[in-house]
Amino acid sequence: MTPLLGLNQTIYLDHNATTPLCPAVKSKMDEYALLPLNPSSIHSNGRAAKSIIENARKLIAKLMGFESNFRNYQVTFTSGATEANNIILANYRDGEIFISATEHLSIWAHSKVASNFTVIQVDKDGVLDLEDLQQKLASSTKQKKLVSVMLANNETGVISFLQEIAKISHEHDAQIHSDCAQATGKIPVDMIVMDLDFASISGHKFGGPVGSGALVSKTSFHLQPIFIGGGQERSLRSGTENVPAIAGLGEAALIAFDELDKRNDKMKKLRDKLESKLLNKFPDIIIAGINTERLPNTSLIINPKVTAQIMLIALDLKGVAVSSGSACSSGKVGKSHVLSAMGCSDDEIKSAIRVSLGYTTSDKDINDFLEIYSELNR
């Protein structure tokens, strides 16, 4: 067997890209992987598949805070947050869509090809400008309006004040959607408290399988599908459901719910240690968004003395996996629209690397990274 590439990397610090599959999740998926399970079938195998899927919906509801109001929300299983984001955006093509200047590319890229997008500015810490949001909503002449703001930024980890954003949105008769992919499983996500109408998640960001995700929506909104088929998922997402992946997503949600406080505390302690030691040793370093609330696992390190491309290669050769804050889908280092919106200079943007921890990250991983990073920056 040909060995897999990348196995020389002993320090994995790129959990915002993807996090390892939780062993208990793999075990759950293995229970069903070899079985013929089509939830649309009426025989016992089909009924069993349907039961597995419905149980996973309830576990998503538990993780996202609407278990007690389950009937008021619809959980539609998708291939991930990107697909979920596209479904909700497609439903507002005939309206106006307001997005933050730091949205994930699965939302941000739409603003470059569609004319019904309005971008809301952020401050130097990456926090949404609520006054700009209010003014632009008030100026809108569209009857149908959507505000889409991610709960936590994938590059900086900066957390949005969604409760306030939702209040302003609803005051202007706009619905609110949040891409919660980076936040789910790392911090509490409560759709009721935040008063979200729609939310997107991806399983592989919190220990679930790649290719699993969901769109959560209030049942009071009737959404249209982006492709037509056999009518699965209440006709919103046709196609035979991937039962093992959905079971894995549900199991990952249950584990994340049970371990949330422990995971959060562990990652925050490790992140704070990483940042304090870096800032003490390299006073010219900037941590993006350090002055506002962030995910407990994310550090976007700006060191204008060395470009991200050089640093990524050097760290990779030492067995350390991190990413550029501006890594694009092709794997090349591009200019980050997130850091541009935050007012960073070109040199700062070109130097940014993202270190993102996970629930499997150890104290030794941090110590080894600090030693290697210091060696490379002498």
Report the catalytic residues.
Answer: 328
Beta strands in the chain (DSSP E): 11-12, 73-78, 96-100, 117-120, 145-148, 175-179, 198-202, 213-218, 286-287, 298-302, 320-321, 323-324, 353-356
Measure the CA–CA gap between 43 and 46, rounded to whole angstroms.
5
**Of the candidates 190, 194, 182, 172, the residue with the CA atom closest to the CA atom of residue 118:** 172
239 touches 203 (CB < 8 A) = no
**Shortest CA distance to 295 belongs to which of 322, 316, 273, 267?**
267
DSSP-assigned beta bridge partners for residue 324 = 353
Q: Can you state the angle between helices 243-281 and 44-63, rounded to 10 degrees?
A: 30
Tokens of 19: 């996090």
Residues in the chain: 378
The type of residue at 35 is L
CA distance 136 to 130: 10
Phi, psi (rounded to 5 degrees) for 261:
-65, -40
Q: Give the Å distances, CA to CA, from 150 to 42, 196, 374.
A: 39, 11, 33
